[in-house]
Amino acid sequence: MSSAGQGYFISPDDGPGPGVLLLHSFWGLNRQTKDTANRLADLGFTVLAPDLAAGEVFEDEDTAMTALAEADVNVNASLTQSSLGILRRAQRNPSAPIGVLGYGSGASWALWLSARLTDEIGAVVTYYGSQSIPMDGAKASFLSHWSSTDSMVSDLEVADLGLSLQMAGVDFRFEHHDGTSDGFAESGLPGYDAEAEVVAWRQTSEFLAGTLRSLQPVD
């Protein structure tokens, strides 16, 4: 496990498993993100969560939004790509595609990566985050979680992403969680919904396990 400002790495006690790159929301690399990484490791995944907030952890939404707007996009693009490379070398089979799990702004980065590094990513899970670039060329399978009320992603953006994935010809599934708002899957946030998070986590863990393990090379 690395220090704040760099990232958080964890692998199963019995040895490396399929890799999952975990991209946090604009709140930073907080305790909830690290707990999520631990939960993934308990399921048999090797996990790297890069710090996309330069060591900052935010508790105020306005401050988090300001920091996100001021962040150097090129730096974070480089960081996510280099983290993916590190994780691929650390997982059980370095030649196998990895999974990417992103929340909020991290979900946007997850989608961006899957459209850029098409041969290196096999599964993408996003929580209430979209991306406007064309998804042409993406080869991963996608699972996207959406809330009923989202202050940052419009219904049109959700529809546009669905159309882009459809045009790319990839397997994708959208899960809409009734009665929730953005942040429903991150404990400690105002919109956190424990019941909905349990459902979404089950869907996420089953999707990652089924998709990534099917992509592992045969020894």
Which of 32, 71, 37 lies closest to 191, judged by CA?
Answer: 32
Q: How many Cα atoms are found within 13 Å in the side-chain-facing hemisphere of 151? A: 9
Q: Average pLDDT for residues 176-182, to the nearest whole number?
A: 96
CATH class held by domain 7-214: alpha beta
pLDDT at position 216: 75
DSSP one-letter string for 164-193: HHHHHT--EEEEEEEEEETTTTSTTSTT--
Q: Under a CB-based contact definition with an 8 Å cutoff, are residues 158 and 135 in contact?
A: no
| pLDDT exceeds 80 at position 218 | no
Looking at the DSSP bridge assignments, the partners of residue 172 are 142
In which band, very low, low, confident or very high, does the pLDDT at 4 lie, cut at 50, 70 and 90? very low
What is the value of pTM for the model shown?
0.95
Q: Average pLDDT for residues 104-114, to the nearest whole number?
A: 97
pLDDT at position 190: 84
- AA letter at 107: A
pLDDT tens-digit map of 132-141: 999 999 999 9
pLDDT at position 213: 84
> Can you give the residue ranges of every domain in the chain?
7-214
Looking at the DSSP bridge assignments, the partners of residue 9 are 48
| pLDDT exceeds 70 at position 196 | yes
Query: Given the DSSP bridges, would you call strands 7-10 and 46-50 parallel, antiparallel or unpaired?
Result: antiparallel
Q: At what angle do helices 31-42 and 194-214 cross, to 10 degrees?
A: 50
Which of 110, 104, 14, 121 lies closest to 67, judged by CA?
Answer: 104
Token readout for 80 is 């996510």
H-state helical runs in the chain: 31-42, 61-70, 73-90, 105-116, 155-168, 194-214
Q: Under a CB-based contact definition with an 8 Å cutoff, are residues 109 and 85 in contact?
A: no
Q: Average pLDDT for residues 199-204, to the nearest whole number?
A: 98
